[in-house]
Every structure is written in C-alpha cells, then in structure tokens.
A and B are shown apart, each in its own frame.
Chain A
Amino acid sequence: MSVIIITEQSENKIKKQSLESISYGVAIAKQLNLDAFALVMGATDENLSYLGNYGVKKIIHQKNIGAANSDNKVATKLISEICTQHQAQIIIFSNSLFGKAVAPRLSVKLKAGLVSGAIKLPETGNSFSVKRSVFSGKAFADVKISSPIKIITLNANAFETMKSSDANAEIVESNIEVPAGTINIIETKKNEGTVSLTDAETVVSGGRGLKGPENWGMIEELAKALGAATACSRPVADSNWRPHHEHVGQTGVAISPNLYIAVGISGAIQHLAGVNRSKTIVVINNDPEAPFFKAADYGIVGDAFQVMPKIIEAVKNLG
C-alpha cells in the first residue's frame, strides 16, 4: 500500500506546486504508516533522488509519456496502470490544469472517491475526511471519502514544502506502454508577462481606479520588482484595457497567492470570490468606503498615483 504523488514538470524541472503536493503526500503517508512514492513523467534535467529530502521513498520515473501531457485520456490510462502496479491507496495531484483534467477521470477509472481543492491534511481516525474550499472560497466543507482508493487534489499555496531528511530516494524506471491519443495540437500561444497568474506567489492587480490602460506602467513596475504576476478586475478586462486572461474573480481566474496587492479595485463580492484565498491582501484605494478594505490585511486610503511610486521605490531598496 502506498501514497503516490503525481508530480508535474515545467521546463524539465519539478514544479514548486508539485513539491507542495509531495510534502503533503509524505505527511499523509506518515499519518497512515504507508510509503510515499512520487511519479515523475517525461524527460527531466534533474537528479530526481533529491526528492528523498522531502521524505519520498521511491521515485517512479516514466520517461516515455507519449501524448500524456496534452491528452488526459492517455494520461489517465498511464497513471492508473502505475497506481495499480504500486498498490496506491491514496493518490495526490496538484489542483492544477493537469490535475483538474486527469484526477476526475482517474476517479472513475479506479472507482476512487475524489476531493478536489484540498486545503489541509486529512483526518484519518475512524474515517477519512478532507477539508476543501467551497462557495468560491467563502466557506469550507469537510468531505468524507468512503472508497478504498482515495484521490486528493491540493490547492496551490495551501501546504508548505517541507524537507524532512537528507536521504536520497531510490529511482525506479517505469516502462509502461503508452497508448496513442487522438487530440492534435494545432497552435500554442504563450501569454505575455513573465510570471503565470495561477502559479504566482505574488500578484499585483489593478482596477478601474487606475482610469485607463496607459496607467498600467506602475502595476507592471511593482510586479517586476516583486517577481509578481499582473492581474485586473472584470471591468478592466471588459473594457479591453487588459487581456481577459488577467481577469481575476468569480468568472475569471481564481487565485490563491501568498500576497495579493489590489490597486484601485473596490472589491465587489464577485472579485473577492476569486482572490479571498490569498494569504495576505493589500488594498490601495482612495475611497475609504471601498468594501475591499473589510477583506484586507493591510490598506492605504490614498491616491494610487501618489502612493505607488513610493512603494515601488521602497521595494527596489529592499535588496
């Protein structure tokens, strides 16, 4: 019996979100006295044995993955075979694009109850239950999984990465035959901006209070100084001041960064639904009655055009 963590790579390196999933899976394995294995798919530039530092006992490295990264049907077949081979009792994904596409399929394939968007370690006394975020971050639900095999997808920034030892993990090459897929990629396009919004630890976001797209320089400059992604409110995207993929909120992207800085955003309930899982929220607005201040940790009531240059300077001086 094992806990298997399904990792993801970006440019042939294990993603930070996967290290969070690994730390989470290892903690569950400890709770249940199971072994934690990590599945790494595709070629890698890393010496994977370092994952032992996070408490993983064995790395299952499946180099040949065919179309598994773009075809969730192929990925599901592959992962389900590996999970069965290694007697997975608990399977952990990141609640990422990949996890959202593959975990539900795997749930059906293995008849394994799925809890998506987990925010905490499970309770594993007489029964197995996991806390997840519901009502767009406005509440939590404690969900019991009753099937023998269980699948959890973990929200980003919900669990700290933890190095627990200096042991190396054993690497086991896996050579499962990958079925062919039927999805053809015609074109790929990368968004402008260096940091992806859903992966970002810090997000700087602008609203209508900035008065026009020509004033976004200061948002971008602060984001650059912080290594942050840029975002915007719905009216801003709807007026085409900024691209739609930057729209965070109930109907746009939901994010949970460590730090969310909102400039000139009043904080409508639909906007809050997309950002309320952020760890620290900063609101800068000239209207002291803006509802966003009620959801914020830090606030400045003032004119963004006066305040922002000083903040940018202070951040640059941090070193």
Chain B
Amino acid sequence: MKILVCISRTPDTTSKISFVDQNTKFNSDGVQWIINPYDEWYALVRAIELKEKDPSTIIHLINVGSIDNEAIIRKALALGGDEAIRINTNNDDAYFISHQIATIAKDGYDLILTGKETIDHNGSSIGGMIAEILDSNFISLATKLDIENNQAIVTRESEGGEEKIAAPLPLVISCQKGMAEARIPNMRGIMAARTKPLKVSEASNTECLTTINAFDLPPAKAGVKLIPADTPELLVKLLREEAKAI
C-alpha cells in the first residue's frame, strides 16, 4: 500500500487576518505557520494509523510551496511518513496546484489523501481536481477509512447523514473530523524526521485559470444590542420586527 498525503501550510487558527500591498497580500508579520489542520489531524494521522496496522505501508507527503514551508514539512515527517516531496513554486490557483500534485500522484499511489479544505483558502477543490486529472474516483468529506481486500471502505458525509461505501483503489479522499485523533510528534519522531528524505522538484508548466485581485475584511459589526435579562421576550420581538430573522 502506497499513500500520498497532500499537506498545505496555513496560518495558525488564532492568527489575526490582515493584508498589505494595497490588500493584495496576506500580512504574515508575526504569524505562526502550521500544517493545515484538516491535512494533519485527519489525512496524515489516518495514513499513519493505517501504517501502524500494516507496517509495509509507505507514506509520502507532498507540499506545493517555497522553501519557507520546510519547517511544517519536517513537522509532518516527525509525526510519521517516510519521505516528503516539495514542489518549489508559490501559487494560489487550485487548477495549477492540482496539476503539480498529479505529476507525482500518478506514480503508483493507492490512496491520495487531502484535508477537506485549507483554513485559509477554504476552496475544497484540490482533491476533486487531482481525481479528475488521474481519472480516479474521489470520495469527499470522509469521516472513516479502512482498507479491506484491496478496496477502500469509507464513510462520508451525505445529505443529512452519512453513508458507508466501498470503492476500488486507487482513490482520492478528502478527510474531515472523525477520521483520526490529533497527535503530537514525539522526540523519536522529531529526531528521525531530520534524516528523512525531503526531495525538491521544480514545477511543471501548467496554466493558471484564476488569480486573486485583492482581499478585503468584513465591515465591523455595528456592536451588540444588549437586551435586559429580565425581558428576554424583547429579543424575540426584535428578531421578528427589526432583524426580520424569524
């Protein structure tokens, strides 16, 4: 079994979001960078759990980004994974990134795992795009994954519930809560990660179909309207007459 886990670098969940250069660039001043939580807690940790069940499993990590991303790639290697590949390019276009990942993913992987989305772009696009490029099945928003008799048994979110499905390999899966429990790297893992291979390759020539013109922040809330605790029925009146929400 060969698994490729796609990991992305994102600002920490508590980061203050602001922009520079006429609102065209994220202001990374003082920002802590982390592995995108969905990629780490669910995709990567589930891959590690599958390897613990079947030690012959090989886990490769892939990241599309600049040399700045190597700290989080090493952290991912400290959690588990045998080697990492970084594609040396910075780009925000999902179509471009998916094609970069697909050039590696086409080489005999049984499972390609992504998080359900990144917490910065929230695109939820990479998994489906890779699957289409590879002409594979794509299971989105998976909450459980096991391998039985060379096929994947996956539970995924469905309209108002969930469904358990069986799908042949190779397969692309986007992972969300339920898949695995978050872990922290141990000292042995951190030491081992230093010597695990981290290969760098240059980007292949692919078009970009989208570009970000600018960012902006939501307007500040007007401020909360407080209703005295002894007249909560006033809240209901305001929700109906003022907010027209009920």
| A residues in contact (CB < 8 Å) with B | 10, 70-73, 76, 97, 100-109, 111-117, 129, 133-147, 182-191, 196, 199, 202, 226, 244-245, 247, 250-252, 254, 258-259, 269-270, 273, 276, 279-280, 282-283, 293-303, 306-308, 310-311, 313-315, 318
Select A114's contact among B95, B131, B163, B207, beta carbons within 8 Å.
B95
Any chain A CB within 8 A of the CB of B221? yes
Q: Is B56 an interface residue, CB under 8 A from the partner?
A: no
A187 touches B246 (CB 8 A): no
A72 touching B138, Cβ below 8 Å: yes
B210 to A298, Cβ gap below 8 A? no
Residue of B nearest to A299 (CB): B224
When A73-B137, A139-B217 are in contact, do A145 and B131 touch as well, CB less than 8 Å?
A: no
Q: Is residue B29 within 8 Å, beta carbon to beta carbon, of the partner chain?
A: no
Asked if A196 contacts B14 (CB within 8 A), the reply is no
Taking the closest CB of chain B, its distance from the CB of A7, in whole angstroms, is 14
Flag if B128 contacts A104 (CB, 8 Å).
yes
Contact A108-B163, Cβ < 8 Å, known A100-B140, A251-B38, A301-B229:
no
State the majority secondary structure of interface residues on A.
mixed
Q: Among B45-53, B59-67, B115-123, B183-191, which stretch is in contact with chain A?
A: B115-123
| CA of A301 to CA of B246, assembled, Å | 21
Docked-complex contact B166 and A144, CB < 8 angstroms: no
- Bound complex: CA A184 to CA B14 (Å): 40
- B125→A145 contact, CB < 8 A: no
- In the complex, chain A residues whose CB is within 8 Å of the CB of B17: 135, 138-139
User: CB distance B122 to A136 under 8 Å?
Assistant: yes
Task: Say yes or no: A298 contacts B212, CB within 8 Å.
Answer: no
Q: Taking the nearest CB of chain A, how far is it from the CB of B150, in angstroms?
A: 13
Residues in B150-171 with C-beta less than 8 Å from chain A: 153, 157-168
What are 27 pairs between A and B in contact, CB < 8 Å?
A71-B137, A73-B136, A73-B137, A76-B132, A97-B141, A97-B157, A101-B128, A105-B129, A107-B209, A112-B209, A114-B95, A114-B125, A134-B215, A142-B215, A146-B211, A186-B163, A187-B163, A190-B160, A191-B160, A196-B159, A196-B160, A202-B245, A251-B37, A258-B245, A280-B245, A294-B221, A308-B232
